[in-house]
């Protein structure tokens, strides 16, 4: 089974690009973030023709998450209790024995902005929801907008204290993983500096100036089933006349 996450940075602009990737990589389950469209604008039929059903929690012009699946599943929840002001950012569904959640975590803007504390509060709510979750086969994936450790940033330790790189944000990620989740990439690649996001400006992708903020977290049971983890850099590049998202897709293969 191939399971993926991708911040698509606007589905309307990226629909055909996404179709290329789906046909090439053939994932079974995909968490999408930053749809920037409402549920009733989502191209359900387009993805059905590609073999995928969609579970959608959209929002006009901003945010929005979805799950594309080849596997029969059941929607469990949309949103976080008490965090409605931050919009459509998280959706959970059950697929066979896997509980799958994809999220688009708040950016925070800047450490001096009011959104920064609100971002930390949002993560506190996320942590609380996962503390109460005892599903043995859990996956939480998405754009976390936090650099877990210095190795995950092209600026390394020099970025510590900046937005995405603060001790408070990293503490939240550690608390989230303490609920029974594992950074599956880092287990397989303990010393590898790889990125999932690169700014469109300044040739950041070609200059290798990126961040690893798109993660697939899984329980010990998922780790034992995993035999491959890929940051799909080829799909951060332009494909013909189609422009890529500023994020690369990430996927795992499990038994």
Contacts of 40 (CB under 8 A, 6+ apart): none
pLDDT digits (tens, 9 = 90+) for 130-165: 999 889 999 999 999 999 999 999 999 999 999 999
pLDDT at 73: 95
Q: Which residues are catalytic?
A: 104, 143
Q: What is the pTM of this model?
A: 0.97
The span from the CA of 92 to the CA of 88, in Å, is: 12
The span from the CA of 122 to the CA of 174, in Å, is: 15
Question: Mean per-residue pLDDT for 8-15?
Answer: 98
pLDDT at 134: 84
Question: Mean per-residue pLDDT for 100-126?
Answer: 97
The span from the CA of 69 to the CA of 22, in Å, is: 11
Residue-wise DSSP of the chain = -EEEEEE-S-HHHHHHHHHHHHHHH--SEEEEE---S-GGGS-HHHHHTTT-EEEEE--TTS--EEEEESS-EEEEEES-TT-GGG-S-EEEEEETTEEEEEEE------TTSHHHHHHHHHHHHHHHHHHT---SSEEEEEE-----SGGGBTTGGGGTTSTTS-HHHHHHHHHHHTTT-EEHHHHH-TT----SEE-SGGGTTTTT-EE--EEEEE-HHHHHHEEEEEE-GGGGS-BTTBPPPSB--EEEEE-
Q: Say what percent of the chain tops pLDDT 90.
A: 99
Domains along the chain with CATH numbers: 2-254 (3.60.10.10)
Is the pLDDT at 205 greater than 90, yes or no? Answer: yes
In terms of phi and psi (left: phi > 0; alpha: psi -120 to 50; beta: otherwise), the region of 109 is: left
pLDDT band at 236, cuts 50/70/90? very high
Is the pLDDT at 121 greater than 90, yes or no? Answer: yes
pLDDT at 9: 98
pLDDT digits (tens, 9 = 90+) for 20-43: 999 999 999 999 999 999 999 999
Q: Say what percent of the chain tops pLDDT 70.
A: 100
């Amino acid at each position: 089974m191939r399971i993926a996450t991708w911040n698509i940075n606007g589905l309307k602009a990226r629909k055909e690009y996404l179709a290329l990737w789906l046909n090439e990589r053939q994932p079974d389950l995909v968490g999408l973030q930053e749809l920037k469209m409402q549920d009733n604008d989502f191209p359900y039929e387009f993805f059905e023709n590609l073999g995928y059903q969609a579970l959608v929690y959209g929002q006009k012009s901003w945010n929005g998450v979805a799950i594309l699946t080849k596997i029969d599943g059941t929607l469990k929840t949309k949103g976080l209790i008490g965090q409605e002001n931050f919009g459509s950012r998280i959706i959970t569904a059950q697929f066979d024995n896997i509980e799958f959640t994809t999220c688009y975590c708040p950016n925070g803007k800047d450490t001096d902005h009011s959104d920064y504390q609100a971002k930390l509060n949002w993560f506190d709510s996320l942590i609380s929801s996962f503390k109460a979750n005892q599903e043995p086969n859990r996956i939480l994936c998405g754009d976390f907008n936090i650099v877990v450790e210095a190795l995950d940033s092209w600026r390394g330790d020099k970025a510590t204290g900046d937005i995405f790189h603060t001790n408070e944000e990293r503490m939240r990620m550690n608390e989230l993983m303490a609920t029974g989740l594992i950074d599956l990439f880092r287990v397989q690649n303990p010393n590898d500096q790889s990125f999932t996001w690169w700014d469109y400006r300044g040739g950041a992708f070609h200059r290798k100036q990126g961040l690893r903020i798109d993660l697939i977290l899984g329980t010990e049971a998922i780790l034992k089933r995993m035999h491959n983890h890929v940051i799909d850099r080829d799909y951060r590049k332009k494909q013909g006349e189609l422009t890529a998202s500023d994020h690369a897709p990430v996927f795992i293969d499990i038994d």
